[in-house]
Amino acid sequence: MYPPMTKRIITFCMCAVVCLSLVHSELLASNRQTPAVMAVKRAMPSIVNIHSEKTARDGGTLFTKGRKVNGMGTGIVVDERGYIVTNYHVVADVDSLRVTTYDGAAYDAQVVSYDRDEDLAIIQVSASGPMPTMPLGTSSDLMLGETVLAIGNAFGYTDSVTGGMVSSLSRNVEVNEKQSYKNLIQTDASINPGNSGGPLVNLDGEVIGINVAIRANAQRIGFAIPIDNARRIIAQLLSIEHLCSTQHGLIGEDVKKGKLQEFRCKSARSGSPAEAAGLIAGDLITKVGSVKVTDAADFERACLGQTAGTTLEIQIERKGVPQTLKMELAALSGRPSQQIARPTQQPPTPVVKIRPAERTWSMFGVRLEKLDNGERYLVGTKYRGGLRVTGVREKSPAFKNGIKEGDILVGLHLWETVNFDNVSYVLDHPQLSTFNPLKFYILRGGETLYGHVQIAHTVK
89 is catalytic: yes
Length of the chain in residues, anyone?
460
248 is catalytic: no
Check residue 458 and give its pLDDT: 44
CATH of domain 356-453: 2.30.42.10
Alpha-carbon distance 31 to 414, whole Å?
50
Alpha-carbon distance 160 to 190, whole Å?
10
Q: Please state the separation of Cα 39 from the chain's center in Å.
A: 23
- Residue-wise pLDDT for 313-369, tens only, equals 999 999 999 999 999 999 876 433 333 333 333 334 333 344 556 778 878 888 888
Check residue 140 and give its pLDDT: 95
For a pLDDT cut of 70, what percent of the chain falls above it?
81
| Fold adopted by 238-331 | Pdz3 Domain (2.30.42)
Residue 359 host element (H or E): helix 356-363
Alpha-carbon distance 99 to 156, whole Å?
13
Q: Is 390 left (phi over 0), alpha (psi -120 to 50) or beta?
A: alpha
- Residue-wise pLDDT for 238-254, tens only, equals 999 888 888 999 999 99
Nearest to 387 by CA among 400, 362, 368: 368
Sign of CA dihedral 224, 227, 232, 237: positive
- 49 or 427: which carries more pLDDT confidence? 49
Contact yes or no for 212/233 (Cβ under 8 A): no
DSSP code per residue over 400-430: HTT--TT-EEEEETTEE-SSHHHHHHHHT-T
Contact yes or no for 195/154 (Cβ under 8 A): yes
Q: Structural domain boundaries of the chain?
A: 33-226, 238-331, 356-453
CATH of domain 33-226: 2.40.10.120
Q: Please tell me which residue in 52, 196, 272, 396 is annotated as part of the active site.
A: 196
Alpha carbon of 98 to those of 72, 108, 132, 134, 296: distances in Å? 10, 5, 18, 20, 28
Nearest to 383 by CA among 421, 418, 423: 418
Contact yes or no for 212/184 (Cβ under 8 A): yes
Q: Please tell me which residue in 79, 119, 228, 295 is annotated as part of the active site.
A: 119
Residue 236 in this model has a pLDDT that exceeds 70: yes
Q: What angle do CA 382, 384, 388 make, to 5 degrees?
A: 105
pLDDT grade for 451, boundaries at 50, 70 and 90: confident
pLDDT grade for 30, boundaries at 50, 70 and 90: low
Of 19-28, 32-41, 384-393, 402-411, least confident by mean pLDDT is 19-28
Q: What angle do CA 227, 81, 312 make, to 5 degrees?
A: 90
The arithmetic mean of pLDDT across residues 126-142, rounded, is: 94
In this chain, the answer to whether the domains covering 238-331 and 356-453 adopt an identical fold is yes
pLDDT grade for 186, boundaries at 50, 70 and 90: very high
Q: Please, what is the average pLDDT of the chain?
A: 83
Q: Please tell me which residue in 51, 89, 413, 429 is annotated as part of the active site.
A: 89
Specify the amino acid at residue 105: A
Alpha-carbon distance 173 to 98, whole Å?
30
Of 37-41, 235-239, 348-352, 443-447, least confident by mean pLDDT is 348-352
Check residue 280 and give its pLDDT: 95
Check residue 13 and give its pLDDT: 57
Nearest to 125 by CA among 105, 102, 109: 109
Which of helix, strand or coil describes residue 367?
strand
Check residue 93 and give its pLDDT: 81
Contact yes or no for 304/243 (Cβ under 8 A): yes
Alpha carbon of 246 to those of 111, 139, 386, 426: distances in Å? 20, 31, 30, 18
Nearest to 441 by CA among 386, 393, 396: 386
Alpha carbon of 9 to those of 5, 14, 15, 18, 353: distances in Å? 6, 9, 10, 14, 97
Q: What angle do CA 333, 335, 341 make, to 5 degrees?
A: 140
Alpha-carbon distance 235 to 256, whole Å?
15
